[in-house]
Amino acid sequence: MKITLSKANKIEGTIEVPADKSITHRAIMLSSLAQGRSIVRNYLPSDDCIRTIDAFKKMGVEIKQDAKNLYIKGIGLKLNKPRGEIYAGNSGTTTRLISGILAGQTFESVITGDESLSKRPMRRVIDPLTKMGAQFMSNNGLLPLKIKGQNPLNAISYESDKSSAQVKSAVLFAGLYAKGKTVYIEPVKSRDHSERMLKAFGAQVEIDRNNVSNNVSNKVSILPAQKLNPQDISVPGDISSAAFFIAAALLVPNSNLTIKNVNVNPTRDGFIEVLQKMGADISINNVKEVSGEPVADIAVKYSKLKSLNLDAQIIPRMIDEIPIFALIASKAQGVSKVSGAGELRVKESDRIAAIVSQFSKIGVEIKEFEDGFEINGRGDFAPKAAEVESYKDHRIAMTLAVASLISQGETTINDAECVNISFPNFYELLKSASKS
């Protein structure tokens, strides 16, 4: 599907964005492994999360859904051998997190995915899970993955060379099935939804306060579990989805927008911190805790911004916001350089290549590096009219859609329907918040 969008005069109102994708995946997984009935309120019914729901249905879990909630009857830590292959579609989170769970089962299973997922690296989970005793067969580190589980698994202490919540979660989930304490250390702390939710379901998770990087503990351990207790979980709005609306309100003159009920977990809020340093008028209001996660309303006003450099210390806290950060940097006065972000090359698309090629088309002065890019921003920048490629990557499509709001003419986005991966009503919500 192609979509054609054009300039908005202002972004205004009070909105809610869809539920957090990371939290929805984890809630489905842990509810499936719990002993009894859980409710997941306000879940994200996007393509990626539906892949996770289908995977657990295939392994014997009863999952009922209505427009708002999921009703999951967990069958305990031991799942049933899936009928056929598990199809993960475009979802890296489904594949990598489920690998940790399948590693601790006593059956053999196979995970497949779409063309993009089949190019994404899986050695990062194969390596630690093999050390724990599971056997993997893959296509040179790529899908399809054949997993022969082992129960119990070996408890390991694993020091990862990357900050990836998907890898960390796979190891922690496998740790539920291990013989002793499983330890995971990462360079900079990645999103900690798994740790928080595992605790809520009754698993024994410990954060090592003595092991810190940048004032935050980056070492976590888990003990094996006999059972998980079912929960009633409410999923907050996704800050990675809110990011596109925050950007729209910052960039379109006269805007004033409030986004209610957004997850502001400190391992996810790097984008807000960075924007405030650039001079953005953003305030975080009504902070409360819901289902073990901090949630708040975010108020944003149009702001004149200055450039800022990002490095490897901040990237994990805003990894999914780099494409939309790039657009903001194009309109922030001065040079912004992003480095230490090589992981962007192995996301749903090569996001560095995608940003550089499509931003060049719309007139951004941008230079490419192996681990990032550099943008020469101008306060008066207005993208040129163009036909642009999303590379079937939801976050690239949404970034280009926000660019159209400040464009000199019409922007046509190819394969625009990929927003369904994380934000099914994205274009409708953008239209309703854009006032002409």
User: Dihedral of the CA atoms 96, 186, 76, 60 (nearest 10)?
Assistant: 0
Secondary structure (DSSP) of 328-368:
HHHTSBEEEEE-S-GGGGGSSS-HHHHHHHHHHHTT-EEEE
Of the pair 191, 392, the CB lying nearest ligand S3P is at 191
CA distance between the termini of the chain: 24
Do residues 427 and 1 touch, judged by C-beta distance below 8 A? no
Residue 198 C-alpha from the chain's centroid: 18
Nearer to ligand S3P, 163 or 234 (CB): 163
Whichever of 10 and 351 has its CB closer to ligand S3P, that residue is: 351
**Bond before 18 cis per omega within 30 degrees:** no
Q: Which long-range contacts (CB under 8 A, 24 or more apart) does 416-420 make?
A: 416/1, 416/2, 416/3, 416/390, 417/1, 418/90, 418/390, 418/392, 418/393, 418/394, 419/394, 420/46, 420/47, 420/394
Least distance to ligand S3P, CB of residue 347, Å: 6
Strand intervals (E) in 231-348: 232-234, 256-263, 281-290, 293-301, 334-338
Q: Which of 20, 269, 320, 393 is catalytic?
A: 320
Catalytic status, residue 320: yes
Name the site residues for ligand S3P (rule: CB under 6 A). Answer: 22, 93, 164-166, 169, 191, 319-320, 343
CB nearer to ligand S3P: give 99 or 166.
166
Q: Which of 34, 91, 5, 6 is nearest to 394 (CA)?
A: 91
> Rounded to whole angstroms, how far apart are CA atoms 198 and 43?
18
CB nearer to ligand S3P: pick between 184 and 302: 184
Which residues form the catalytic set? 320
